[in-house]
Amino acid sequence: MIDHDKVRVLLLENIHPDAVSRLETEGYHVETVGRALDEDELIERIDGVQLLGIRSKTQVTARVLEAASDLVAIGAFCIGTDQIDLSVAAARGVAVFNAPFSNTRSVVELALAEIIALTRRLTEKNAGMHAGVWDKAADGSHEVRGRSLGIVGYGNIGTQLSVLAENLGMRVYFYDTADKLTLGNAQRCGTLDELLENSDVVTLHVDGRPGNSGFFGEAQFARMRDQSLFLNLSRGFVIDHAALRRHLVSGHLAGAAVDVFPEEPKGRGDEFVSELRGLPNVILTPHIGGSTEEAQADIGGFVAGKLAQFVGEGNTTLSSNLPAIALPQQPGTYRLVHIHRNMPGVLAQVNSILAEHSVNVEGQLLSTRGEFGYLLTDIGIDYSEIVLTKLRAMKETVRLRVVR
């Protein structure tokens, strides 16, 4: 059982104050750190922490999880979870929650702003004006209306970008390895090469799975149209930055906008190093695709709410690594939260132990996902501690806790 007034929360990387307020409302003790922690630093700080909140820079590795004996759940206050070892977390009974939708609009608006800025050559015009050069010429500046946009990755961000870009008069093509419902007049491309050959602007919105590392390199840049534009607001490691620079310097590509990088500084003010620095036709932003006040407030409240629901109710809706369950708790009951290996007969074993000790089941729900199962059981408040001992002793049990 977790006493709310004893729950320790560690929030890293300047997570929005709304998250702090939400968790403190639950009675939790919240500690905040304004930067990412490396593996050794996090191991030093994780002892006694039940809830951990991070953004995209902190890596929650197997070593960290092995050191986090009290950890119950992790909140990724961002879209992705590739910075967390999800399988090890599940194996240790640690739930992971993220915010897959909260900053979608912010990323889409940044992509649209960069597409317009690059198409109009605003970065170069701006730099010239600051240098005292008046260059009132239309050469190389275009409207986005009538131009073609190729979206690689047609998920939450890609689909919303598709709709808004079409409203601006762009022709939209997309490529995705999964079957996706086409929105508006967008056209699906059967291959990535087909998309590259048809697009004036190519923008990447793929996820952070390891298989996407180096996904877009020399061969793909060479396939792009002459004087086309390139954007990456997804993951830094999916593109070859040296190849991108070569195609920009040669004049093959007219411009690029990059928001994510293979290696990023830990905190504000640290030096940023990239081969793309110094190019006048490149917009570089410090991983701010989802960094609007609106998005961060929404993420803060959303993920903090998920963490509180998991602690207080065992609710795993939208968990990234455990089966999804939401079961209304019966009044006058305690709840057994049982994470276990997905083996035949677990439910029968649990109910047999309860029946053996005359514990009545008031409500129950089981779901499985891959290697693990997740069982919520509401029981009467009168039971013997030996029940918990026997449930924990089951060879399939990963973690058992009681919600009162």
- Which residues are the active-site residues? 235, 264, 287
CA torsion, ordered 243, 247, 250, 254, to nearest 10 deg: -150
60 bridge partner residues: 84
Q: Which helix (H) or strand (E) holds 380?
A: strand 372-380
d(CA 297, CA 247): 38
Half-sphere exposure of 370 (CA within 13 A, CB side): 10
Q: Which residue has the tokens 């993920």?
A: 303
Is the Cβ–Cβ distance between 293 and 86 less than 8 Å?
A: no
Nearest partner of 94 among 85, 82, 104, judged by Cα: 85
Pick from 370, 363, 376: nearest CA to 322:
370
- Contact yes or no for 265/239 (Cβ under 8 A): no
Report the alpha-carbon distance of residue 220 to residue 212 in Å, rounded: 14
Written as six digits, the tokens of 59 are 């890596």
Taking CA atoms, 362 is separated from 329, 331, 381, in Å, by 9, 9, 11
Q: Please, are residues 65 and 88 in contact by the beta-carbon 8 Å criterion?
A: yes
Given its phi and psi angles, is residue 93 left (phi above 0), alpha (psi -120 to 50 degrees) or beta? left
User: Beta strands 51-54 and 8-11: pairing type?
Assistant: parallel
Structure tokens at 148: 């073609």
Give the strand pairing for 397-403 and 361-369: unpaired
Query: Which helix (H) or strand (E) is 167 found in, with range?
Result: helix 156-167
